[in-house]
Each structure stands twice: as C-alpha cells, then as structure tokens.
Amino acid sequence: MDELIWDTVRASCGWLDAANGTGQAELTCRILKLTEEAGEVAGAWIGLVGQNPRKGVTHTREEVAAELADVVFTALVAIESLGLDARTVVTACADKVRSRIT
C-alpha cells in the first residue's frame, strides 16, 4: 500500500487521541465504528440492487466500494488505536491468507 495510507492512518489515530483521549471507552467507540461503517456498506448495497421498492436503485458500485474503503480505513485506525502497527498486522494477515491459497 502507498505510504500515504499508513501515514494517514497514524495521523488519524493521533488526531482522535488528541480530541477524544485514549481510554477504554474511546477504544470501544473506535471498534464499534466498524459496525456503523459496515451498516453503511449494507445500505449502499441495498440501494445498488434496488431492494427497497419505495426507493428503487439509489447507489452505484463505486459508492458501495467507497463505503467498503471506509470500513477498511476505520479498521486500520482501530488497529493503531490498540497500540499496534496496522501495516504489520495487515501484512501478517495477508501472509496467512496467501499461505492458504497458494
């Protein structure tokens, strides 16, 4: 991934730390934020397939992808908020997945 991503993750974590602190309640909120973002993905997908007949088709694949990216970024910030290096954690995860599919 581009270095800008990792720098932005760390900067976002620092910004949240300064604004909201680093206590257990704040960490809980950062982890729960993933659920909120995942709900936005679900809503965008429902809008893409037009599942709600009252609303019809309201979203594009690009909008669904953007919501998925929000989930990814939120997860990276949550990992950093745990005091871990998100890049290291994601790399270890990718290595584990790679070992299963190759």
* Ranges of each domain in the chain: 3-101
Helix (H) or strand (E) holding 40: helix 24-49
Q: Stretch 60-77: mean pLDDT, rounded? A: 98
Looking at the chain, the whole-number percentage of residues with pLDDT higher than 70 is 99
Distance CA 14, CA 82 (A): 12
Task: Answer for the pair 76, 88: CB distance below 8 angstroms, yes or no.
Answer: no
pLDDT recorded at residue 2: 86
Q: Looking at the predicted structure, is the pLDDT value of residue 1 above 60?
A: no
Q: Looking at the predicted structure, is the pLDDT value of residue 29 above 80?
A: yes
pLDDT recorded at residue 9: 98
Task: Answer for the pair 50, 56: CB distance below 8 angstroms, yes or no.
Answer: yes
The dihedral built from the CA positions of residue 44, 45, 47 and 53, taken in this order, carries a sign that is negative
3-101: CATH, from 2.60.40, 1.10.287, 1.20.120, 1.20.58: 1.10.287
Q: What is the pLDDT of residues 2-13, one digit of tens each?
A: 899 999 999 999
DSSP state, residue 72: H
